Amino acid sequence: MALDPEVIPLLAQLEEAGFPDPREASLDELRAAAVFPPPEVPTPVASVEALQAPGPAGPVPVRFYRPEGPGPHPLVLFFHGGGWVVGDLDSHDETVRRLCAGSGAAFASVAYRLAPEAPFPAALEDGYAAAAWAAQHAADLGIDAARIAVAGDSAGGNLAAALCLLVRERGGPPLAHQALVYPVTGADLDTASYREHGEGLFLTRAMMQWFWDQYVPDPARRADPLAAPLAGDAAGLPPATILTAEYDPLRDEGAAYARHLEAAGVPVAYRDFPGMIHGFLGMTGVLGQAGTAQAWLCARLREALSA
């Protein structure tokens, strides 16, 4: 279908605001441009706490969100998007709040190390450290160690998917579900969706090329399944929820990953949102389908993580 009518003025606003060309701007300029003002009234949750998990290069900051109601709650480890280079706990705070409140699960938003200062596999190792810490301290956190899931959007979806592979490789901690929002699953920038939607729709092919160059500077290493999960063996991975956007360069690799998991016998719920662009999940209040997508994700997490 055509672009959703709500997307057209949004694209004009984004064009007017301008996002620095990552090939020309400094890292500080890029990261500052990726910070969006929070809502005047954040979605309420029972509590939000700043915690730390011991990591391979020092403490990994974790923002812990508790939902209303008695525990122990299931837990979702969340990884923010931003091409492995930009984004932080604040950039995705409202999205995480809404998912926490809507799903009834606790959320641990992980502030993994960013590239290019910390290239692959630093972010993934931070994610593994956070998962191991959460499982080990489940009782203290008020969570159920048997109901831990991973989730993330874009590059965060890549980390969530790769973490499922790494956990299987290392023998735990067990993960019950993976929720992947327009995930990066491969380094092929010549798919049909890249060719059709790689320019003028917020995320561009040139931007993704630059992000890959920062995260995995050696192109030969981009075949590693921990960098490109689509290249991995999917047997025995956790059930998945995968969401893509029709006008997103990453659409085809998200759909391909759903098929890849299904071919290995992994249960998958896949949904492509028509007329939407990359990043739409966090644009509630501007795009009606953002709320629809969040509600679907919450329902999927509630079902997947029910006691």
Q: Is the pLDDT of residue 54 over 90?
A: yes
pLDDT, residue 247, reads: 98
Distance CA 9, CA 68 (A): 36
Q: Is the pLDDT of residue 18 over 90?
A: no
pLDDT band for 3, please (50, 70, 90 cuts).
Answer: very high
pLDDT, residue 33, reads: 87
257 sits in which H/E element? helix 251-263
Write the CB contacts of 72 (distance below 8 Å, at least 6 apart in sequence): 138, 139, 142, 143, 144
pLDDT band for 58, please (50, 70, 90 cuts).
Answer: very high
Q: Whole-model pTM?
A: 0.98
pLDDT band for 66, please (50, 70, 90 cuts).
Answer: very high
Question: Which residue among 80, 177, 260, 278 is the active-site one?
Answer: 278
pLDDT, residue 35, reads: 80
Report the candidate in 226, 191, 221, 230 with the shortest Cα–Cα distance to residue 208: 191
Q: What domains are defined for the chain?
A: 7-304 (3.40.50.1820)
Question: Which residue among 126, 153, 224, 248 is the active-site one?
Answer: 248
pLDDT average, residue stretch 151-174? 98
pLDDT digits (tens, 9 = 90+) for 237-291: 999 999 999 999 999 999 999 999 999 999 999 999 999 999 999 999 899 999 9
Report the candidate in 219, 216, 228 with the shortest Cα–Cα distance to residue 256: 228
Contact 22, 211 (CB under 8 A): yes
pLDDT, residue 20, reads: 86
pLDDT, residue 89, reads: 97
Is 278 among the catalytic positions?
Answer: yes
pLDDT, residue 274, reads: 98
Question: Which residue among 154, 177, 193, 260 is the active-site one?
Answer: 154
3-state helix, strand, coil in the chain (%, to 5): 40, 20, 40
Report the candidate in 173, 164, 188 with the shortest Cα–Cα distance to residue 264: 164
Tell me the pLDDT of the chain averaged across its residues. 96
pLDDT, residue 15, reads: 85
Among 32-46, 95-109, 145-159, the least confident range = 32-46
